[in-house]
Chain A
Amino acid sequence: ETGVTQTPRHLVMGMTNKKSLKCEQHLGHNAMYWYKQSAKKPLELMFVYSLEERVENNSVPSRFSPECPNSSHLFLHLHTLQPEDSALYLCASSHRGSSYEQYFGPGTRLTVT
């Protein structure tokens, strides 16, 4: 695998379900990000992790719970979501202390029914 990978690519879940999104970067980066892309809205940052420490939570509801066990992996745990949470969730990584040029994964398209 190269670059940034995300699984699953598509997810349909009910409002009472619990699921997790996974992101893995193979670029040797040390900062990782979750972004949300909703229809007709700009991409918006959700969380930033650096060296496994969360450094920003962009006013995201608690039904989204991130986890970064090491510098290569990032998870987004989902529970009791709402239909308006349906969106494309994108993971990105960059190298802290360098240019911060970000590279994105292919995204997980989430539908909440």
Chain B
Amino acid sequence: GIQVEQSPPDLILQEGANSTLRCNFSDSVNNLQWFHQNPWGQLINLFYIPSGTKQNGRLSATTVATERYSLLYISSSQTTDSGVYFCAVGGRGSTLGRLYFGRGTQLTVWP
């Protein structure tokens, strides 16, 4: 399967700060998703971004498929941004879009 590495594993910020989360993957992908897992375990879709750049409010993401990495940017952090952020990828040979997950980045935002 595809190896997915996320960094940093833990990130602690003051409210208002900006941050960058990184996802490296080991093979070509045709699916890359960023999720936010809330304290109750729900995975919230942030971005579907196998390549290119997208923005949604204070969040943006960039995937450079040829170099096998993706970045998630969070600007002006809020306490509600706290939680675990997962990167997940699907390869061209993957069965019906199965996703391989990284171990996540645990983000804590203090007021």
Known A33-B98, A42-B103, A56-B95; judge A99-B31 contact (CB<8 A): yes
Bound-state CA distance A81–B95 (Å) is: 27
Nearest Cβ on chain A to B5's Cβ, whole angstroms: 11
Name B93-111 residues within 8 Å CB distance of A. Answer: 95-99, 101-104
Query: Does B41 lie within 8 Å of A56, measured CB to CB?
Result: no
* A71-113, CB < 8 A from B: 88, 90, 94, 96, 99-107, 109
- A109 with B96: CB separation less than 8 A: no
Indicate if the CB atoms of A48 and B95 lie closer than 8 Å: yes
How many chain B residues touch the partner (CB < 8 A)? 23
B95 to chain A, nearest CB (A): 5
Q: Chain A residue with minimal CB distance to B43?
A: A104
Q: Is A23 an interface residue (CB 8 A)?
A: no
Q: Is A55 an interface residue (CB 8 A)?
A: yes
B residues in contact with A103, CB < 8 Å: 45
Q: Does A43 touch B at the CB level, under 8 Å?
A: yes
Instruction: Say yes or no: B41 contacts A45, CB within 8 Å.
Output: no
* Chain A interface category by residue count: 20 to 34
CA distance A88 to B103 in the complex (A): 15
- Contact status of A55 and B42, CB under 8 A, knowing A43-B101, A104-B35: no
Closest Cβ neighbor of A31 among chain B residues: B96
Interface residues of chain B, those whose CB is within 8 Å of chain A, are: 4, 30-31, 33, 35, 40-43, 45, 48, 86, 88, 90, 95-99, 101-104
Sample of 7 further A-B pairs with CB below 8 A, known A43-B99, A104-B43? A31-B97, A42-B104, A43-B86, A43-B88, A100-B96, A101-B45, A107-B41
Chain A residues in contact with chain B, CB under 8 A? 31, 33, 37, 42-45, 48, 50, 55-56, 88, 90, 94, 96, 99-107, 109
Interchain Cβ contacts under 8 Å between A and B, 29 examples: A31-B96, A31-B97, A37-B41, A42-B4, A42-B101, A42-B104, A43-B86, A43-B88, A43-B101, A44-B101, A48-B95, A50-B96, A90-B43, A94-B96, A96-B97, A99-B31, A99-B48, A101-B45, A101-B48, A102-B97, A102-B99, A103-B45, A104-B35, A104-B42, A104-B43, A104-B45, A106-B41, A106-B42, A107-B42
